[in-house]
Amino acid sequence: MGQVLNQARKIPFWAERLKNISPELGPFLQMAKIPLLTKRDLLAEQALHPPYGRLFSQTEKGLCRYTQTSGTSGHTLRWLDDSASWEAMLECWAMCYELAGVNGSDRLFFPFSFGPFLGFWTAFEAAARLGVLSIPGGGLSSEARLRMAFEVDASVLLGTPSYLIHLGEMAKLQGAKVPKPRLLIVAGEPGGSIPATRQRLEKLWGARVIDHAGMTEVGPTTVECAESPGGFHLLESMYYPEILDPQTGQEVDQGELILTNLKRLSGPVIRYRTGDLVARDRDPCPCGFGGLKLKGGILGRLDDMVFIRGNNFHPQTLEAILFELPELAEYRAIIHQSGPMARLEVLVEPRPGIDPLALVEAADSAIRERCLFRAEIRAVEVGSLIPAELKARRHSVQG
Ligand SMILES: [Zn+2]
């Protein structure tokens, strides 16, 4: 922690933020005085000093890696790393693989194109470094990816939950000559922590789901272990975590996850508000990995919460409800906020051969029962809601 603070003082953005905090205090006393950092702060700094802001190491040359956020919220955050910081993230992934039970005889298949997102660049490089066969599947159609994964006998597939569901549905229709992975490592969307989505994936592929989470500006932070389905280990040797009540800022067992990066020193983030709602699990894990464990993975995003017809509504809830319906292939939800009251519109896509009206009725009663309000539900044609291979957005807000 002391090293992070010393390094941060050499970086203009942080030097300003820390100028009233005495370095004479112990690192944890200093920490407690540092204001929480938000993504908005980082974006504002980059807008003020484009293109990167004064967020990165100035004294040493060697910022050699560029990544950026997907900009799903409308703003792209650019990030730079030197080789030591990049190495630290590869170390994170080495831990993730160990916890997931990936071993030297596995064949990892990455069925997506490598864009400017941190996502699986680090996952791919770390696996290759560990001596695990890592196979890129970018620049191909979904059909070609399935064929290739079968031909190389992929034992682990990595991807977003929605894209692996899409591939799994295709594989099911195809029947023969499809890969039979033993593990699916998913990230990029909340689905891996939503029981109905996990079950759907595990049933489609006959493989175990391992959920993982990370953020471009922080790094690969959490992973599920092979022995504790649905729980997340935070890689505590790499990050200093706090769980705070978003209203009061008090330390709590269930609240917002706040992270400080301990090893990514070329661009530190200190007391970063991740926006993720988490719950501390005090029971030790059978795998023996120490540090903070999170019950149920990431429970939701603070900024996604909306108020519909007198109810707090979280879009993640909708995924949990709708993916339990066997008739449903995909869905999209639109929250309309222009009128006097917010309303929810849901487009549902039936599986082939399913009566669209039966699906609409099933979705209607499931939402009414669990959310206590009524949504406007419409069926769309089979095959019309194909998910993107990266970060599908099932929910949008209008008005
Ligand atoms: Zn564990």
What angle (nearest 5°) sits at the alpha carbon of residue 249, between those of residues 17 and 264?
45
Region 374-388: what's the mean pLDDT?
A: 87
**pLDDT of 250 over the 90 cut:** yes
Are 285 and 368 in the same domain?
no
Domain boundary among 269, 302, 335: 302
CATH classification at residue 352: 3.30.300.30
Q: Confidence band (pLDDT; 50, 70, 90) for 72?
A: low
Query: In angstroms, what is the span from residue 224 Cα to ligand 1's centroid?
Result: 7
Q: Is residue 65 part of a domain?
A: no
Q: Which of 38-42, 231-235, 236-240, 386-390 has the lowest mean pLDDT?
A: 386-390
Give the pLDDT of residue 389. 64
Are 203 and 328 in the same domain?
no
Whole-angstrom Cα distance, residue 88 to residue 221? 11
**pLDDT of 41 over the 90 cut:** yes
Are 131 and 277 in the same domain?
yes
Q: What is the pLDDT of residues 208-219, one digit of tens each?
A: 999 999 999 999
Q: Confidence band (pLDDT; 50, 70, 90) for 316?
A: confident
Which DSSP symbol is given to 274? Answer: E
CATH classification at residue 267: 3.40.50.12780
Provide the token pair at 280.
Answer: 């501390």
Query: In angstroms, what is the span from residue 289 Cα to ligand 1's centroid?
Result: 6
User: Is beta strand 63-68 parallel, antiparallel or unpaired with respect to 78-82?
Assistant: antiparallel
Region 78-105: what's the mean pLDDT?
A: 96
Are 359 and 266 in the same domain?
no
Query: In angstroms, what is the span from residue 96 Cα to ligand 1's centroid?
Result: 11
Are 281 and 328 in the same domain?
no
Query: In angstroms, what is the span from residue 212 Cα to ligand 1's centroid?
Result: 13
Are 334 and 296 in the same domain?
no
Q: What is the pLDDT of residues 186-205, one digit of tens each?
A: 998 888 989 999 999 999 99
Query: In angstroms, what is the span from residue 98 Cα to ligand 1's centroid?
Result: 10
Domain boundary among 302, 336, 364: 302
Q: Is residue 294 part of a domain?
A: yes
Query: In angstroms, what is the span from residue 260 Cα to ligand 1's centroid?
Result: 22
Region 316-333: what's the mean pLDDT?
A: 89
- Amino acid letter for position 306: V
User: Total domain count for the chain?
Assistant: 2
**pLDDT of 59 over the 70 cut:** no
Are 233 and 315 in the same domain?
no
Cis peptide before 51 (omega within 30 of 0): yes
**pLDDT of 9 over the 70 cut:** yes
Are 97 and 159 in the same domain?
yes
Beta-bridge partners for 350: 328
Are 143 and 119 in the same domain?
yes
Domain boundary among 302, 332, 361: 302
Q: Confidence band (pLDDT; 50, 70, 90) for 347?
A: very high
Query: In angstroms, what is the span from residue 61 Cα to ligand 1's centroid?
Result: 39
Region 275-292: what's the mean pLDDT?
A: 94
**pLDDT of 346 over the 70 cut:** yes
Q: Confidence band (pLDDT; 50, 70, 90) for 317?
A: confident
Are 228 and 284 in the same domain?
yes
Query: In angstroms, what is the span from residue 219 Cα to ligand 1's centroid?
Result: 20
Three-class DSSP category at 76: coil
Query: In angstroms, what is the span from residue 288 Cα to ligand 1's centroid?
Result: 6
Q: What is the pLDDT of residues 99-148, one digit of tens each?
A: 999 999 999 999 988 888 887 799 999 999 999 999 999 999 999 999 99
Query: In angstroms, what is the span from residue 231 Cα to ligand 1's centroid?
Result: 8
Are 240 and 158 in the same domain?
yes
Classify residue 376 as left (phi > 0), alpha (psi -120 to 50) or beta. beta
CB 271 within 8 A of CB 36: yes
Query: In angstroms, what is the span from residue 354 Cα to ligand 1's centroid?
Result: 40
Q: Is residue 23 part of a domain?
A: no
Give the pLDDT of residue 394. 81
CB 213 within 8 A of CB 276: yes
Q: Is residue 277 part of a domain?
A: yes
Q: Is residue 36 part of a domain?
A: no
Are 110 and 207 in the same domain?
yes
Range of the domain at 114: 84-302
Q: Compute CA distances 85 → 64, 79, 218, 249, whole Å.
A: 10, 12, 11, 29
